Structure 1
């Protein structure tokens, strides 16, 4: 979607300059694009840049896009977000750097 005005990502409550830099690296140039993508697609784009996954960062993003305080996520809602996060993390897991790592993954020695 094209936007006539662009607003910095860091204008969204609880999303600061570091998160904005991660968005920029992922091709998410403004708050409007971030909102259009939604938290899962946006976080997937960020992970695709090689960023390390962090659950707190993910759920802060979800809460921010809902206009809620970052620490408002609790109980069953937090558990459900953890499942979504784990699925995103698994889908964007970097390829093992070494043949040994791949072998250990193939035989199930390492945790996914």
Structure 2
């Protein structure tokens, strides 16, 4: 099995490059992090938030095609996506984030 992120169903080289910018460089690492933590890191790296990309990731990690997500399952994933996106928008940025990283709270 390839460790290339693009070996995961629904994910291609552009998505793999975005995850690399988020510090996620292999399929094994992505699988062990899981969709939510990987997407949190995606957002923290400044990658754009897209619901379809999120649920394509979730489906791909289950080995399912992206368009298999429908109905109640899709609504549940939408709520998770909205929660991840909202948490990211509240995260400290810039100088405040750097100070938090080294343990100094403003």
Given the two structures, how large is their TM-score scaled by the length of structure 1? 0.77
Runs of 4+ in 1 over 4 A off after TM superposition: none
Deviation of 1:89 after TM superposition, in Å, equals 0.2
| Aligned with residue 49 of structure 2, among 48, 53, 67 | 53
RMSD of aligned residue pairs (Cα, Å): 1.9
Q: How does 1:1-112 map to 2 (within 5 A)?
A: 7-93=3-89
The structure number with the bigger radius of gyration is 1
User: CA–CA distance in 2 between the matches of 1:14 and 1:58?
Assistant: 11
Report the Cα distance in structure 2 between the residues aligned to 1:82 and 1:37, rounded to whole angstroms. Answer: 19
Unpaired runs of 5+ in structure 2?
92-106
Segments of 5+ residues of structure 1 without an aligned counterpart are 96-112
TM-score, structure 2 normalization = 0.82
Q: Which has the higher helix share?
A: 2
CA deviation map 1:59-78 (0-9, x unaligned): 00000000001100000000
Give 1:53 shift.
Answer: 0.5
